[in-house]
Amino acid sequence: MPSTDSGPASYASAGVDVDAGERAVEQFRPFAEKASRPEVMGGIGGFAGLFAAKFGKYTEPVLAASTDGVGTKVAIAQAMDKHDTIGQDLVAMVVDDLVVCGAEPLFLQDYIAVGKLVPEKVATLVRGIAEGCEQAGCALLGGETAEHPGLMEPGGYDLSATGVGIVDAEKMLRPERVRPGDVLVALGSSGLHSNGYSLARHVLLDIARLPLEGELEEFDHSLGEELLVPTRIYAKDCLAIAAETGVRTFSHVTGGGLARNLERVLPDGLAATVERGSWTPAPVFKLIQGRGRVERAEMEKTFNMGVGMVAVLPPEDVDRALAVLTARHVPAWILGEVARIGDVDGADSGTLGARVQLRGEHPRF
């Protein structure tokens, strides 16, 4: 029989420290309050985040919503005990989905689950989320931190978020706008972003047994630092393109790779060609492929391979889009083009991702 002489039970003795939660809120409050917008009402600590719906400039406002997490990239942050950038990854995965349809991100709410609540660690996580929201131009409207003793290891955590944006119905970007002859413009990624980490960890840590703290000739920093390079946030860049060009739509290249995500924004009857020779993937992709002897098809359906976002544009707007991105210090280049499916050799409407044909070879890869 269990012992009964250990004193009265409490929430704290069960593993949940309410006071620690309150200390965490006080530590991250200044960061969260900086990630705001004029429409935000009230402050941190209420039961619900309040956002004044000032939609006067929209003829027919449409709300867009997206929910995501950062997957097993969290395992790298935990192993490195570095938690200040994973929040930016979280924001990027959410807001960069919103802007695909042309929606301006308005606000985001996060959810952080921890095995044991350490106020300093949670404050660091929220600081990264708040900084990501500032980059995206949206408010961190609120969130939840939950302590899960017995369900998660004391040092473990996971995080997710939901974001809401707005777009005028008449300006909404969607596949139906895409036309044969449109041009694909790539927006370069900052690295792996937040996809494919289960494969990356398996290859680099389990098979190759590379130390996270050790420097490799491919990088000027440690492997762990390379794997924690934060996801690029494209929200403001995409909105800048939309404001100055007749962009048809965007494709956010996440899980599933370039072909499958690009196919999602192509209407029936159209296909696309992508020229691998137009860019060189970053060294981290070559490292994973070489150390794990990963087949190219597997690499391309798992990782972004250096392309984090694709803009689909009419030909006459390509130069302007490239100029906008250059001014915003975003690496960008012409990636390929759109054509009727019958005009693209090998294109197949019955196989997932087969309407996007990747051709040629990457230089120096």
Phi, psi of 266 (to 5 degrees): -105, 130
Q: Which residues pair with 233 in a beta bridge?
A: none
Calculated CA dihedral for residues 165, 171, 173, 177, nearest 10 degrees: 170
Q: Residue 36 above 80 pLDDT?
A: no
Please give the residue that has the higher pLDDT: either 347 or 289: 289
Q: Residue 90 above 90 pLDDT?
A: yes
335: helix, strand or coil: strand
- pLDDT tens across 228-274, in order? 999 999 999 999 999 999 999 999 999 899 999 999 999 999 999 99
Q: Which two tokens stand for residue 298?
A: 């597997």
Q: What is the pLDDT of residue 350?
A: 78
Give the whole-angstrom CA distance, residue 19 versus residue 55: 40
Q: What is the pLDDT of residue 18?
A: 59
Q: Is 19 exposed, middle or buried (0-12, 13-18, 19+ CB in 10 A)?
A: exposed
Q: What is the pLDDT of residue 32?
A: 65
- Give the predicted TM-score (pTM) of the model: 0.91
Give the whole-angstrom CA distance, residue 33 versus residue 24: 14
Q: How many CB atoms lie within 10 A of CB 78?
A: 16
Q: Which residues pair with 50 in a beta bridge?
A: 41
pLDDT band at 292 (very low <50, low <70, confident <90, very high): very high
Question: Do 192 and 70 meet the contact criterion of CB atoms below 8 Å apart?
Answer: no
Give the whole-angstrom CA distance, residue 191 versus residue 223: 12
Give the whole-angstrom CA distance, residue 189 versus residue 233: 9
Q: What is the pLDDT of residue 210?
A: 96
Question: Do 25 and 12 meet the contact criterion of CB atoms below 8 Å apart?
Answer: no
Query: Residues for the chain: how many in total?
Result: 365
Q: Residue 98 above 70 pLDDT?
A: yes
Q: What is the pLDDT of residue 338?
A: 98
- pLDDT tens across 168-213, in order? 999 999 999 999 999 999 999 999 999 999 999 999 999 999 999 9
Averaged confidence pLDDT in the chain? 91
Q: Is 150 exposed, middle or buried (0-12, 13-18, 19+ CB in 10 A)?
A: exposed
Question: Do 223 and 216 meet the contact criterion of CB atoms below 8 Å apart?
Answer: yes
* Helix residue spans in 39-165 (DSSP H): 73-80, 86-98, 119-136
Question: Do 339 and 271 meet the contact criterion of CB atoms below 8 Å apart?
Answer: yes
Q: Residue 131 above 60 pLDDT?
A: yes
On the CB side of 279, how many CA atoms lie within 13 Å of its CA?
Answer: 22
Q: Which two tokens stand for residue 41?
A: 């009402």
Question: Do 337 and 311 meet the contact criterion of CB atoms below 8 Å apart?
Answer: no
Q: What is the pLDDT of residue 31?
A: 60
**Among candidate residues 340, 256, 270, the one with its CA nearest the CA of residue 303:** 256
Q: What is the pLDDT of residue 48?
A: 83
Give the whole-angstrom CA distance, residue 49 versus residue 26: 17
- pLDDT tens across 49-71, in order? 888 888 888 899 999 999 999 99
Q: What is the pLDDT of residue 365?
A: 85
Q: Which two tokens stand for residue 166?
A: 């707005």
Q: Residue 334 above 90 pLDDT?
A: yes
Q: What is the pLDDT of residue 16?
A: 61
| Highest mean pLDDT (candidates 24-28, 155-159, 347-351) | 155-159
Please identify which residue in the block is written with the tokens 């000032």.
54
Q: Residue 5 above 70 pLDDT?
A: no
In angstroms, what is the C-alpha Rg of the chain?
22
Q: What is the pLDDT of residue 169?
A: 95
Q: What is the pLDDT of residue 54?
A: 82
Give the domains, in start order, of the chain with CATH numbers. 18-43+58-169 (3.30.1330.10), 175-359 (3.90.650.10)
Q: Residue 308 above 90 pLDDT?
A: yes
